[in-house]
């Protein structure tokens, strides 16, 4: 009868199996993760071709961004508009000055001041006021003339001729004023008059007076009747 198989002494026992080789027994080595030294990088650098953001081959040439300048024609149009505006403003100022020139703004050649000046000159002729006639007739030169005897004689003759025609005159209206400059003007006026021999005023006579403004005074340099009357 065969003997029962003896159990394997290594089965059911603790510890490693018995060494059967001829060399000294060495326990199996346990492999642990490799530890990196301080000088060794923790991760190997990826090749340049695998790095993110890299571009294969040479980089494309970048052209500078185009500068956006204002078109020349736009600047030219703006310049033309500014020039036109300046010319228009200057023209308007000149036209306004020529049209008004004090007539509507209380200046020297308003209708009221012109009427007063012409009336004063005609009264001087009617009353033989030689000094006033001479002062107006010299048209601003009165203070510069040294010898005024000839001017006084001419003033007397002008008064005598006027008094033979009219004994009294009254300026009724200023019909039109033409401005030569800020200080010179021409006025068309209407007056009524009484004859040299006396009597009531009558008629509608028109005359033209040449005027000069100087030293806050309007001078009647000359006057001419356009419709001479016979009385």
Q: What is the CATH number of the domain that holds 210?
A: 3.10.450
- As given in the structure block, the two tokens for residue 177 are 């004023």
Q: What is the pLDDT of residues 187-203, one digit of tens each?
A: 999 999 998 887 888 88
Residue 231 lies in a domain: no
Q: Which domain holds residue 90?
A: 74-105
Question: 212, 136 in Cβ contact below 8 A?
Answer: no
Q: Helix or strand or coil: residue 82?
A: helix
Confidence tier at 124 by pLDDT (50, 70, 90): very high
Look at the chain and report how many structural domains it folds into.
Answer: 2
> Using CA atoms, how far apart are residues 111 and 174, in angstroms rounded to an integer?
6
Report yes or no on 188 lying in a domain: yes
Report pTM.
0.54
Residues 89 and 115 in one domain: no
Q: Which two tokens stand for residue 39?
A: 């000088």
CA distances from 155 to 66, 136, 149, 213, 222 (A): 85, 10, 10, 20, 11
CA distance 55 to 43: 23
Cβ contact 136:162 at 8 Å: no
Asked whether residue 82 falls in the same domain as residue 135, the answer is no
134-189 per-position pLDDT tens digit: 999 999 898 888 898 999 999 999 999 999 999 999 999 999 999 999 899 999 99
CA–CA distances in Å: residue 59 to residues 46, 53, 73: 21, 12, 39
């Amino acid at each position: 009868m065969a003997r029962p198989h003896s159990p394997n002494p290594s089965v059911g026992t603790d510890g490693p199996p018995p060494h059967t080789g001829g060399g000294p027994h060495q326990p199996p080595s346990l492999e642990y993760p490799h530890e990196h030294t301080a000088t060794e990088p923790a991760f190997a650098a990826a090749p340049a071709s695998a790095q993110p953001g890299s571009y294969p081959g040479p980089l494309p040439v970048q052209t500078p961004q185009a500068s956006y300048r204002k078109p020349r024609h736009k600047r030219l149009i703006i310049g033309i508009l500014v020039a036109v505006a300046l010319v228009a403003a200057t023209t308007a100022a000149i036209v306004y000055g020529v049209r008004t020139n004090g007539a509507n703004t209380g200046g020297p050649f308003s209708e009221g001041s012109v009427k007063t000046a012409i009336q004063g000159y005609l009264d001087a002729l009617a009353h033989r006021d030689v000094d006033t006639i001479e002062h107006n007739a010299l048209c601003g030169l009165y203070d510069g003339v040294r010898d005024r005897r000839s001017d006084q004689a001419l003033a007397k003759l002008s008064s005598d001729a006027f008094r033979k025609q009219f004994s009294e005159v009254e300026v009724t209206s200023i019909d039109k004023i033409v401005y030569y400059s800020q200080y010179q003007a021409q006025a068309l006026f209407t007056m009524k008059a009484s004859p040299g021999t006396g009597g009531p005023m009558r008629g509608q006579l028109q005359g033209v007076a040449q005027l000069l403004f100087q030293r806050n005074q309007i001078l009647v340099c000359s006057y001419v009747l356009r419709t001479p009357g016979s009385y």
